[in-house]
Amino acid sequence: MSRNEIALLGYALLGLIHQKPSSGYDLRKIFTDTPMAGYSDSPGAIYPALRRLEERGLVQGSIVAGSGLRQRKVLTITPAGLAELKQWLTGPIRQDDVGNHLNELMLRFAFLDGAAGRAATIQFLQAFEAELKVYVATLNGFLKIHAEKLGMSGRLALESGILGYEAQLQWASHAIHVYQNKENPK
């Protein structure tokens, strides 16, 4: 990773800080107590990632009084941090993302509406749906051609994957419908 790249954990942290200014401890609890643990719950990863974000001017810390005599450093996202977050959230969706980075796409989606707005969220969902359609068709084509060579367990494993992507496609279509028919758009 080059010095200018932000790891997935960094984007997760930016998204969470954008939602609510937080201390490192608050963020670590989110990673520990929620499904976000898959991105990291290690202080050995979270605190250095926060330090890198602060060094790059993407978040800014301020000391606030905590319980008792203890003070806490609360991080807020800076305008540069918000711009970086929006750029990542609204970036293109490629076939490789659908096949190999589905969790990252869902992380992007989770922060998208709050950071980039409804129109960007609909655009993301439409691109995601289009890439899923192509990917599912490709997998079904592969299955049709290679089913006998895969053996029973290989074929069933591929069918499982296809069913998962078809469910994701159904969800994307549903999500588009929900966003397009939402009253009181932002």
pLDDT at 56: 96
Which of the residue ranges 23-32, 84-93, 107-116 would you say has the lowest mean pLDDT? Answer: 23-32
Backbone angles phi, psi at 145, to 5 degrees: -75, -40
pLDDT reading at 157 higher than 70: yes
pLDDT reading at 3 higher than 70: no
Task: Tell me the average pLDDT of the chain.
Answer: 91
Counting every residue written for the chain, the total comes to 186
